[in-house]
Structure 1
Amino acid sequence: MNKTIEVTTNKPTSLVAVSSLSKRDTVISILIIGLLFFIFGFVSWVNAILIPYFKIACELTHFKAYLVTFAFYISYFFMSVPASFFLKKVGFKKGMMFGFWTMAVGAFIFVPAAYTRTYEIFLIGLFTIGVGLAILQTAANPYITVLGPKERAAQRISIMGICNKGAGILAPIIFAAVILKANDTELFTQLATMGEAEKNTALDALIRRVIVPYTCIGVVLLGLGLLVRYSPLPDINTEQETAEVALANSDKTSILQFPHLILGAFAIFLHVGTQVIAIDTIIGYANSMHIDLMEAKVFPSYTLFVTICGYILGIIFIPKFISQVNTLRLFTLMGAVFTLFILFAKGQVSFLGHTSDVSIWFVVLLGLANSLVWAGIWPLALDGLGRFTKIGASVMIMGLCGNAILPLFYGYFADAYDVRTAYWVLFPCYLYLVFYAFRGHRIRSWK
């Protein structure tokens, strides 16, 4: 018997069961969550252009430049578990409103940071934006995972991925169009020959270009908070249990008693780190091949476009032609192979108007390898958690701090060796992801 039961302890009466939603309610919910993932993507992937931009404007090393991703994503480590309790207390939609408003505060912090050209204040702003995103991600990811049949979760997550990465394609291009000018290549060349006072004046003018776009972003985020708060999005119960799951979990008292969840959270930690390295380092890698910033700015969009192609393949083929778990196995293996090509492939190639070392196109192809890993890990890690689903999701979201930490390792090795050798950081990450895909997700006891 596979009867569904409700866990009602400490739950607001406004929560509804997924099974009670009509097809129309489900479609509306998916569209609204898709909008949220678009916002996540736009705000997150603009970092790909902020890193080289701050590196020039604030005169940073590779390591210090990657503190952009550290400040942005380390907030997930600190905020994910508190966010789950916060959402349980105030409700799904009200909590998401506060998440958007927190992001807006972070965007507004860019204004004083730009006026003083103080990198540390920019990092505070990025951390604050990350806090807001942690609240939103803690709500949205388990929501979309349970919003329909379990075997089609990867399909739904792939649709969200298209929204996220589609915004990621647009964000660097739009942001670069706003803050970069046609004659900036000449300016960047001249900085090395300028006197201290002249250079400071030029850099002050350069950094203040972020004021208008981030003020606009802050205003939009305030409006989106109100929009979601009063939207028809239902507060669904993400912690329903079947009788079988309830019986299996009857002796469980802690989320730490679910090895497949803990191992999955570490897999997310490594996966998101590899993903952000592939996107946020590619401009610097292109610069090492003497491709200037004005031309290299499009490379993150190439990587994200390939990622979207992977999502489309997932929507078409999962689960009709290939299961979620076999897809995860295939794409993690692909990531390990592409990493070796980045490190060892030789030769020049002309493609899409760029003449470069062939290895940079394998960095682009990491976008394909990474595309269906997130969608594969989430359903496996949350499987069978029942009443522990919400806290389990927050542990998974904590894993997003991999975006903060792994790029620092890349930056350290890029300074110590070179930007190509630093891609060795990726290889052990993909090996662990292969382990989780084949074995780790099946471990249900620490014994």
Structure 2
Amino acid sequence: MEAILPVESNKQRTLMPMMIIGSLFFVFGFVTWLNGSLIPFLKIACELNHMEAYLVTMAFYIAYTVMALPMAYVLKRTGYKNGMMLGLLVMAIGSLIFIPAANERMYSIFLFGLFMLGTGLTILQTAANPYIVLLGPQESAAVRISIMGLLNKGAGVVAPIIFTAFIFAGMEQFDESQLALLSEAQRTLQLNELAQRLVNPYIIMAATLFVLAIFIKLSPLPSMNTEAMQTSDNDTESTSIMAFPQLILGVITLFLYVGVEVIAGDTIGLFGQELGVTNFGELTSYTMVFMVLAYLVGMFTIPHFIKQETALMLSAVLGLVLTMLIIITPTDSALIWSNLIFWREVGYLPDVVLYVAMLGFANALVWPAIWPMALNGLGKHIETGSALLIMGISGGALLPLIYGAITEMSGNSQGAYLIMLPCYAFILFYALKGHKIRRWSSNDA
């Protein structure tokens, strides 16, 4: 029988659980941030327009909305540990679905495989995030989540580079102008060959996920005491989950945050490709590098120098500034790359693309700040509250799709980034006031 780990545990007792959960966050990042490279790949292989290409994010992230509450029920039945194992097994099945999808070059099967991957991640995220929050003191929860985020985004740096090296090699023959010169039969043959490149990587991914599921099953992960976050000024035994403004506003904030995070990570490849960037397949890694840098800053500054509320406020302000720069900067300007990053011999990178990547710095500390602020005081409702927050991840499904629709209708990828301004404005509101509200009545806020 597993021991219950008290919330005020010492560093030695939390080290092993953090290492185990950290491996899961690495998996989250690797699978999630493959999408940034997968989008331009499938756009070519399955001959898609912008909006169709961004259905990749829709299929992947909509699973969080559809499956979050059912998975919260599953977690109550199985416990965190068995739930994590189940999530890994579901992800392995999703990876295997890519094999028939590639063999038939059917976009609908790819989307189903992505939905299954998202479903598995829903189980893992619903379990792992509150687990990390409960693993130590409330005031340092953002630091623990930042460490997990460092692993998550570190995987996000690695995944596009690996994908580009193995999948995007020799892509010149699949350029649209080259394919247009071929007959229909030759074009189909070429694109089928391209789709086949996905088979071996996803077989390896499935095998890795199966092995990791066995490892989690045999690991010494302790159970969590979810009553540890209950506070005396809220009668959580009788209160409806909808009566917690800090949670509901947190869900909206997280919805908007994940939307802008995915836009920054998953649209940069196609945006860079349109502007003539040759290494467009690995541009998602640039966004992830900035996120990693921000997580490192967060680990050393929170809560010793700044509070997690302050980190959230600064993140929102930086997001607003960078979004304005993306919108107004000429696409032919490359002053930053030419003058400051001249040592990288990868050719031309427009400033506007670099600003999209720098959004990673603005976005990194939003997730670790929202979770402890939104879950504070929920008591026995913490699993349901966690599930609602996980449902907020569906922002990654809808906002990039809206971005794609605006791009398709206007023909202006740069201007479509305008949709991020109201998102960062709401995040700023939550940092300044929203997380403090404990009653819906303004008199009791």
Q: TM-score higher than 0.5 here?
A: yes
Aligned pair 1:420/2:420, yes or no? Answer: no
CA shift digits 1:4-62 (9 cap, x unpaired) = xxxxxxxxx84614247553321001111111000000010000110000000000010
CA shift digits 1:416-435 (9 cap, x unpaired) = 12110110111111111111
Give the superposition deviation at 1:355.
2.1
Give the superposition deviation at 1:250.
4.9
Contact 1:307 1:370 (C-alpha < 8 Å) held by counterparts: yes
Give the letter for the 1:374 counterpart: W
Aligned pair 1:233/2:221, yes or no? Answer: yes
Aligned pair 1:400/2:393, yes or no? Answer: yes
Aligned pair 1:91/2:79, yes or no? Answer: yes
Secondary structure, in 3 states, of the residue corresponding to 1:239? Answer: helix
What corresponds to 1:296 in structure 2? 280
Q: 1:31 aligns with which of 3, 7, 19?
A: 19
Aligned pair 1:72/2:60, yes or no? Answer: yes
- Provide the C-alpha distance between the structure 2 equivalents of 1:272 and 1:149, rounded to a whole number of angstroms: 25
Give matches, 1:143-162, under 5 Å: 143-162=131-150
Give matches, 1:169-318, under 5 Å: 169-181=157-169, 183-188=170-175, 189-241=177-229, 245-250=231-236, 252-292=238-278, 295-318=279-302
- Provide the C-alpha distance between the structure 1 equivalents of 2:8 and 2:360, rounded to a whole number of angstroms: 37
What corresponds to 1:116 in structure 2? 104
Give the letter for the 2:95 counterpart: A
Number of aligned pairs?
Answer: 430
Secondary structure, in 3 states, of the residue corresponding to 1:446? Answer: coil
Contact 1:99 1:135 (C-alpha < 8 Å) held by counterparts: yes
Contact 1:239 1:390 (C-alpha < 8 Å) held by counterparts: no
What corresponds to 1:5 in structure 2? none
- Provide the C-alpha distance between the structure 2 equivalents of 1:22 and 1:339, rounded to a whole number of angstroms: 41
Secondary structure, in 3 states, of the residue corresponding to 1:193? Answer: coil
- Provide the C-alpha distance between the structure 2 equivalents of 1:435 and 1:22, rounded to a whole number of angstroms: 35
What corresponds to 2:34 in structure 1? 46
Aligned pair 1:363/2:349, yes or no? Answer: no
- Provide the C-alpha distance between the structure 2 equivalents of 1:391 and 1:281, rounded to a whole number of angstroms: 32
CA shift digits 1:130-188 (9 cap, x unpaired) = 1110000000000001211111111111100110000000001111212122x322331
- Provide the C-alpha distance between the structure 2 equivalents of 1:110 and 1:288, rounded to a whole number of angstroms: 27
Aligned pair 1:431/2:425, yes or no? Answer: yes
> Bigger CA drift: 232-241 or 307-316?
232-241
- Provide the C-alpha distance between the structure 1 equivalents of 2:110 and 2:293, rounded to a whole number of angstroms: 33
Give the letter for the 1:396 counterpart: L
Give the superposition deviation at 1:247.
4.9
- Provide the C-alpha distance between the structure 2 equivalents of 1:118 and 1:278, rounded to a whole number of angstroms: 27
Give the letter for the 2:317 counterpart: L
> Bigger CA drift: 416-425 or 160-169?
416-425
Give the superposition deviation at 1:284.
1.1
- Provide the C-alpha distance between the structure 2 equivalents of 1:248 and 1:290, rounded to a whole number of angstroms: 56
What corresponds to 2:436 in structure 1? 442
Secondary structure, in 3 states, of the residue corresponding to 2:348? Answer: strand
Taking structure 1 as the reference length, the TM-score comes to: 0.93
Q: Percent identity?
A: 45
- Provide the C-alpha distance between the structure 1 equivalents of 2:227 and 2:234, rounded to a whole number of angstroms: 15
Give the superposition deviation at 1:364.
1.1
Secondary structure, in 3 states, of the residue corresponding to 2:197? Answer: helix
Give the letter for the 1:408 counterpart: L
Secondary structure, in 3 states, of the residue corresponding to 2:306? Answer: coil
CA shift digits 1:277-308 (9 cap, x unpaired) = 0011111111121123xx12222111111111
Aligned pair 1:378/2:362, yes or no? Answer: no
The gaps in structure 2 that reach 5 residues or longer are none
Secondary structure, in 3 states, of the residue corresponding to 2:226? Answer: coil
CA shift digits 1:89-146 (9 cap, x unpaired) = 0122112111111001100001111111000001000000111100000000000012
- Provide the C-alpha distance between the structure 1 equivalents of 2:174 and 2:282, rounded to a whole number of angstroms: 20
Give the superposition deviation at 1:248.
2.0
Contact 2:288 2:360 (C-alpha < 8 Å) held by counterparts: yes
- Provide the C-alpha distance between the structure 1 equivalents of 2:25 and 2:186, rounded to a whole number of angstroms: 42
Contact 1:380 1:441 (C-alpha < 8 Å) held by counterparts: yes
- Provide the C-alpha distance between the structure 2 equivalents of 1:280 and 1:20, rounded to a whole number of angstroms: 38
Give the letter for the 1:129 counterpart: L
What corresponds to 1:389 in structure 2? 382
